[in-house]
Amino acid sequence: MKRTNKKGGAAIVAVLIVIMLVAVGSAALVVTGRYTIQASKVADAVVKVNSKPEESSSEEVSEVDDLSSVVEEPVSNYPVKSANYQDINIKGMTANSAILVDADTNEIVAGYNYEKKVYPASLTKMLTLLVAAENIQDMDATYKFTSDDIDPLIEDNASRAGFEAGETVTMKDLLYSAILVSGADGTTGLANAVAGSEEKFVELMNAKIQELGLTGTKFVNASGLHNKNHYSTAQDIAVITKAAMDNETCREVLTATKYTTSKTKQHKDGIELTSIVAHRIEGYYVDCDGDGEADDGISIEGGKTGFTDEAKYTLSTILDDNGHTYICVTTKSKDELKSVEDQIAIYEKYLGGKASDNKDKDSKTDTDTSSVSEVED
């Protein structure tokens, strides 16, 4: 029979006691939060996932990769059909797609082909406005135009507010010029000021499109000049319009009728800008009850026009109905007057009235375009 090694047994007992003490200490550290520092490192790595990575262990990277599967998808901002939704059916309407949205409830009141891909033309500039407004901290900051900015726009016969090479203007000037007179010089200045180039700015625009959850839109420039890979839908434009109207700065610009740019050496009195939308709707009114007169409390507050040879006439308007906001988008209308008349007919019929010819017979029927001869919309 072997003799028991009492010293060896005592050593084993001692080791077990030490292990138990270490385990208890570790538990205490976890309870007090001492080990939460590793979780913090992982969180920081997730935040920096799109930036240049700092030195880190492969273990940390694998933890981030595991977390990537739980990143939330963009929330859809698409409106849903209202309980009383109607297909748009108006005799004589020339638009190839249209949508009327209750902006307060985010519901589609009426529509037709609104998921059809179309060329938006200068309706693009509403997203340019929104992205710029969200990234500009100082509206009084300035931008100086160069010949490289202006010359290509002249060659493309793009719509311009009239800024010149060497002219220094404010961010606010650029915002209003891009929308009120659809100035591609305004969008060029905004793109360069915000992102350093139009290409980089377009990346921000498409990132915003993804953020809004839009699946029918892709932009390749900030102005809306024609490109076969630059497209949207009436529904997507309505979402963009609503997002812009939800931004205080954008709302002020989209609903303005006039604005004068800063005084410069090139323009000592500034440039007086008049809203193309306000000019287009002059003499029109909304008559939902069919009594031949403008309805009380209902008016088109603003919006954006668009035109290229390929897109024809596009239009997005914002209507106020006694404090309730509606957005109407139409694309590829026959001409600039029909683009307005298409929308008036939609408002009248689907806001509860009868579509009718409501043109003010005493007002002019031919739009004077002499002051906006280069305007592409």
Residues 102 and 174 in one domain: yes
Element (H, E) at 7: helix 6-31
Q: How do 107-112 and 97-102 pair as beta strands?
A: antiparallel
**C-alpha to C-alpha distance for 339 and 119, rounded to whole angstroms:** 15
Residues 138 and 49 in one domain: no
Whether residue 199 lies inside any domain: the answer is yes
Q: How do 324-333 and 168-170 pair as beta strands?
A: unpaired
Element (H, E) at 300: strand 298-308
User: Where does a domain end: 20, 45, 70?
Assistant: 70
Name the domain count of the chain: 2
pLDDT reported for residue 203 = 98
Whether residue 377 lies inside any domain: the answer is no
Residues 47 and 172 in one domain: no
CA diameter of the chain: 126
Residues 249 and 362 in one domain: yes
Residue 39 or residue 114, greater confidence:
114
Whether residue 156 lies inside any domain: the answer is yes
pLDDT reported for residue 34 = 29
Whether the pLDDT of residue 296 is over 70: the answer is yes
- CATH number of the domain encompassing residue 141: 3.40.710.10
Whether residue 131 lies inside any domain: the answer is yes
Average confidence (pLDDT) over 274-300: 95
Average pLDDT, the chain: 82
User: Where does a domain end: 70, 104, 120?
Assistant: 70
Whether the pLDDT of residue 59 is over 90: the answer is no
Residues 104 and 166 in one domain: yes
Residue 52 or residue 214, greater confidence:
214
**C-alpha to C-alpha distance for 269 and 261, rounded to whole angstroms:** 8
Full residue range of the structural domain in which residue 261 is found: 80-372
Residue 353 or residue 180, greater confidence:
180
Residues 60 and 196 in one domain: no
- 357 phi and psi, to 5 degrees? -80, 105
Residue 53 or residue 125, greater confidence:
125
User: Where does a domain end: 70, 90, 113?
Assistant: 70
Residue 288 or residue 32, greater confidence:
288
Average confidence (pLDDT) over 98-110: 98
Q: Using 50, 70 and 90 to split pLDDT, how confident is the model at 73?
A: low
| 304 among annotated binding-site residues | yes
Contact 62, 320 (CB under 8 A): no
pLDDT reported for residue 83 = 96
Q: Is 122 a catalytic residue?
A: yes
Residues 192 and 110 in one domain: yes
Q: What is the pTM of this model?
A: 0.77
Whether residue 96 lies inside any domain: the answer is yes
Contact 99, 315 (CB under 8 A): no
Whether residue 1 lies inside any domain: the answer is no
Residues 108 and 225 in one domain: yes
Q: Is 373 a catalytic residue?
A: no
Q: Using 50, 70 and 90 to split pLDDT, how confident is the model at 140?
A: very high
Residues 191 and 272 in one domain: yes
Q: Which one of 159, 177, 182, 275 is the catalytic residue?
A: 182
**C-alpha to C-alpha distance for 74 and 108, rounded to whole angstroms:** 21
**C-alpha to C-alpha distance for 19 and 125, rounded to whole angstroms:** 68
pLDDT reported for residue 20 = 57
Residues 281 and 163 in one domain: yes
Whether the pLDDT of residue 303 is over 50: the answer is yes
pLDDT reported for residue 361 = 34
Q: Using 50, 70 and 90 to split pLDDT, how confident is the model at 206?
A: very high
**C-alpha to C-alpha distance for 361 and 87, rounded to whole angstroms:** 30
pLDDT reported for residue 76 = 84
Contact 123, 318 (CB under 8 A): no
Which region among 20-24, 47-51, 245-249, 257-261 has the lowest average model confidence (pLDDT)?
47-51
Q: Using 50, 70 and 90 to split pLDDT, how confident is the model at 40?
A: very low
Residues 177 and 230 in one domain: yes
Whether the pLDDT of residue 1 is over 50: the answer is no
Amino acid residing at 295: D
Rounded to the nearest angstrom, the gap between the alpha carbon of residue 219 and the centroid of all alpha carbons in its chain is 11
Whether the pLDDT of residue 125 is over 70: the answer is yes
Q: Is 125 a catalytic residue?
A: yes
pLDDT reported for residue 56 = 36
Q: Using 50, 70 and 90 to split pLDDT, how confident is the model at 75?
A: confident
Residues 109 and 140 in one domain: yes
Whether residue 75 lies inside any domain: the answer is no
